[in-house]
Amino acid sequence: MSLTLEEALASLRVLALPMRTTFRSLDIRETALFKGENGWGEFAPFVEYSDQESLQWLESAIEAADKALSPALRESIPINATVPASNDEAEIEQILSWYPGVDTAKIKVGTGIKEDLARIAAVRKHLPKAKIRIDVNGSWSVKEALSNIIAIYEVTGDLLEYVEQPVASLDELKQLKEGMSVDVKIAGDEVLRKAKDPFAISLDGAIDILMLKVSPLGGIKRAMDLASHHKLPVVISSALESAIGISYGLALAARVPNLDYACGLGTSALFNQDVSDIPIVNGAIKATNYPIDLDRVERYELKGERLEWWRNRISRVWNLRRPA
């Protein structure tokens, strides 16, 4: 059956989840949930995203609510710790404690190489054997990337697992790859999920690893199609969704043919409270159906003007959908 806009709006719950730490400059994460035959789906494009950019997020939410999942290939999903762009050592220590047993830390960088190196050192002080991933969100120039990656590699050595989106554009990624003198893998995130048509771009000579985020890429089927189209190893990561969207990311991680890397799906830990508890045990999360806690939904639910804003947004984005 196909979920209709009216059905989605009838079950709509809009939430404002308070963060435990500032992430992506956010202290509150607004998101929308609606229900279909298969369960809840999450529509969570950040509030500044355009309707057009939000379309794939809606497709993912509809797919989650509507479609039954294929059988899983695995249940235990290894995850990384996610460290925001903070240089408060006590805060970094506390954040790392939310991720028991992980062997990989993903660190947001790009706030200046001195600060970045200090942040990496603070993480390594507590997790000296952990693999380090850094996420630049495209904020370096090619020249900066060339020197910053060397500076970081000098400290981490081969524990530097990859650098995510060091520069913004596809052309810059290719230039960087050509100029690199150290053997460090490059992962692409925005280059895929912000592309007008992510099937139309060639990533040859640009990146080594593909970030797959189920919501911005339009759901499990489309994310898996993108992975097989580009023939690159994948890292599954979240888009800072609530437990509903995270469960869907876990469902993707449980179904990709090869899962060679820890996933960035432990971001529930960055919330004060979530609509379900997703425990991290020995650096892994179980991919399973986490029951939604409706008392918590009620506690963090938005009414009035914000609810209206999300209703209107969903209606507008729904109208951008192409007939199947």
From the CB of 84, what's the least distance to Mg ion, in Å?
12
CB neighbours of 97 closer than 8 A, spacing ≥ 6?
A: none
From the CB of 133, what's the least distance to Mg ion, in Å?
10
CB closest to Mg ion, residue no: 189
Tell me, yes or no, if 108 is annotated catalytic: yes
**Residue position matching structure tokens 């379309």:** 55
Asked whether 298 and 97 are in contact (CB, 8 A), the reply is no
Choice from 30, 59, 63, 135 touching Mg ion (CB under 5 A): 135
From the CB of 49, what's the least distance to Mg ion, in Å?
15
Distance, in Å, from the CA atom of 296 to the CA atom of 157, rounded to the nearest integer, reads 44
Tell me, yes or no, if 185 is annotated catalytic: no
Choice from 189, 213, 252, 267 touching Mg ion (CB under 5 A): 189
Compute CA 139 distance to the chain's CA centroid, rounded to the nearest angstrom. 18
From the CB of 228, what's the least distance to Mg ion, in Å?
21
- In the shown chain, the binding pattern of residues 216 to 255 toward Mg ion, with x for contact by CB under 5 A and - for none, equals ----------------------------------------
Among the listed residues 35, 108, 131, 174, the single catalytic one is 108
Specify the stretch interacting with Mg ion by CB under 5 A; choose among 85-93, 166-174, 185-193, 278-286.
185-193
Q: Which long-range contacts (CB under 8 A, 24 or more apart) does 315-318 make?
A: 315/5, 315/9, 316/51, 317/51, 317/54, 317/55, 317/57, 317/58, 318/5, 318/8, 318/58
Asked whether 191 and 173 are in contact (CB, 8 A), the reply is yes
Catalytic residues: 108, 213
User: Which residues of this protein are in contact with Mg ion, per CB under 5 A?
Assistant: 135, 189
